[in-house]
Structure 1
Amino acid sequence: MANIVQFENVGLRYGTGPETLSDVSFTLQSGAFYFLTGASGAGKTSLLKLLYLAQRPSRGIVRLFGEDAGTLPRTRLPGFRRRIGVVFQDFRLVPHLSAYDNIALPLRVAGVSESDVEAPVREMLAWVGLTDRGRAKPPTLSGGEQQRVAIARAVIGRPEVLVADEPTGNVDPDMAERLLHLFDSLNRLGTTVIVATHDFHLLNRIPNAHMMRLEKGRLGDPMGTLRNPPGAA
């Protein structure tokens, strides 16, 4: 499998404070499933921000799709971001839009004609089990339903990489299992999936997943602590 993400001695600091991430190096392979674990405050969200280009490193190199993300001109950033789906911890749904319109938003922003929007949105609603909730607005949806809308919105553009920040943190265990099944299904279609979580009970739910563990802004070893590393029997 080809490398889709590479971090080389990456450091990140906000302002003049201490580094949030220090000397982080790892490689993610296309089509694999990864868990990013660590205690609250370990730097998981900061690392994900580098992955989906919301933040640039203070030092080191972040390569995405074979290119140095730190030197990309701003004019190319939108195209790169469309290749990355993001499920935020706080959902970030537009409250006055229906579930249907929230899911359709990335397609409309990308300029997809309205005649080509309905079919994929309906497909996504069915995929996340919300066929009958398309007209509902986020304030009327449960936490689990909102999370599923957020997942559908993140993947409707068929991203090459899906990044999810604590996606099961606001749902009950049964819903957590269901959400994880959705990520696994997407991964089986070829998308590289990175799920940040502090819920260690989830780690064995995806048999072929790899694990990276952050501790105080550093990975467990220079290339991350991987369970079932690629190529292992």
Structure 2
Amino acid sequence: MVQFDNVGLRYGTDREVLSDITVTLEPGRFYFLTGASGAGKTSLLRLLYLAQRPSRGIIRMFGQDLITTPREKLPEYRRRIGVVFQDFRLVSHLSAFENVALPLRLSGLPERDIARPVADILDWVGLSHRSTASPASLSGGEQQRVAIARAVIGRPEILVADEPTGNVDPEMALKLLRLFEALNRLGTTVVVATHDAHLRENLPNPQILHLERGRLTRRNATSSEGSRR
């Protein structure tokens, strides 16, 4: 599904924030991305959802070398990736319902086929009663749930989530994890960046990708925080 070969990333002339990243993400697996603040998690996610090109190395995704792919072709690959941003990025003038429906409309789905799946996913994240609310009238936790619903509504081939449960209570965090898990069982490769150890403990046998100072180590879910594989 995804292959990084000796990938490095730097911003401007600063030192590399990611160095020598070599990893393969297998189709249909569930990955947690961990690491201290500043370790490079968000930068790695930006590479995964094609918002950033690396400074060096090779990235292959969906069987394509995306380093040599023309920029105008990248949107077609981005449409196969669902993203939950840390800052939500909801469209301010659209209701919760319309924000969640947006990916379906952009994909060209007929209007008659949009209302039911959007209503179902809003119900799943506990926001059916807030479907007509604007983002400005939603709490931070509610905005996060709308952002997650929007990311998963189209059943993406890859789901990338940056601290997706950071603004919800533990009960809702577990419910959202179950949503990601259900999507994963349908075949979506899931990558969740999180500091929440309790969240990781509630998923059987996830793959753990751990970043330390911009370098990636891969560990079993049962490994201690300091161990490496």
With the length of structure 2 as denominator, give the TM-score of the two structures.
0.92
SS at match of 1:203: helix
Q: Is the 1:163–1:194 contact (alpha carbons within 8 Å) kept by the matching residues of 2?
A: yes
> Are 2:210 and 1:217 aligned?
no
Q: Deviations over 1:197-227 (max 9, x none)?
A: 122222211112110100010012xxx2243
| 1:37-76 → structure 2 map (5 Å cutoff) | 37-76=34-73
Q: How many residue pairs align between the two structures?
A: 223
| 1:185-204 → structure 2 map (5 Å cutoff) | 185-204=182-201
Q: Is the 1:10–1:57 contact (alpha carbons within 8 Å) kept by the matching residues of 2?
A: yes
Letter in 2 for 1:171: V
1:124 to 121, 125, 138: 121
Q: Which segment is superposed worse, 38-47 or 126-135?
A: 126-135
Letter in 1 for 2:111: E
CA positional deviation for 1:111: 2.9
SS at match of 1:34: strand
CA positional deviation for 1:171: 2.2
Q: Deviations over 1:49-75 (max 9, x none)?
A: 000000011101111111111111223
Q: Is the 1:82–1:157 contact (alpha carbons within 8 Å) kept by the matching residues of 2?
A: no
1:137 to 116, 134, 139: 134
SS at match of 1:70: coil
Letter in 2 for 1:48: L
State the partner residue of 1:162. Answer: 159
Give the distance between the partners of 1:216 and 1:197, measured in 2 at CA. 16
> Are 2:221 and 1:227 aligned?
yes
Q: Deviations over 1:46-104 (max 9, x none)?
A: 00000000001110111111111111122321110111000001111112211100001
Gaps of 5+ in 1: 229-233
Q: Which segment is superposed worse, 146-155 or 79-88?
A: 146-155
Give the distance between the partners of 1:103 and 1:154, measured in 2 at CA. 8
SS at match of 2:173: helix
State the partner residue of 1:99. Answer: 96
> Are 2:4 and 1:10 aligned?
no
Q: Deviations over 1:163-185 (max 9, x none)?
A: 00011222222222222121112
Give the distance between the partners of 2:5 and 2:221, measured in 1 at CA. 21
State the partner residue of 1:231. Answer: none
| 1:78-93 → structure 2 map (5 Å cutoff) | 78-93=75-90
Give the distance between the partners of 2:113 and 2:36, measured in 1 at CA. 43
> Are 2:28 and 1:23 aligned?
no
Letter in 2 for 1:225: R
Give the distance between the partners of 2:204 and 2:25, measured in 1 at CA. 17
With the length of structure 1 as denominator, give the TM-score of the two structures.
0.90
- RMSD between superposed Cα atoms in Å: 1.6
Q: Which runs of 4+ in 1 moved over 4 A?
A: none
Gaps of 5+ in 2: 223-229
Letter in 2 for 1:161: I
Q: Is the 1:183–1:193 contact (alpha carbons within 8 Å) kept by the matching residues of 2?
A: yes
State the partner residue of 2:173. Answer: 176
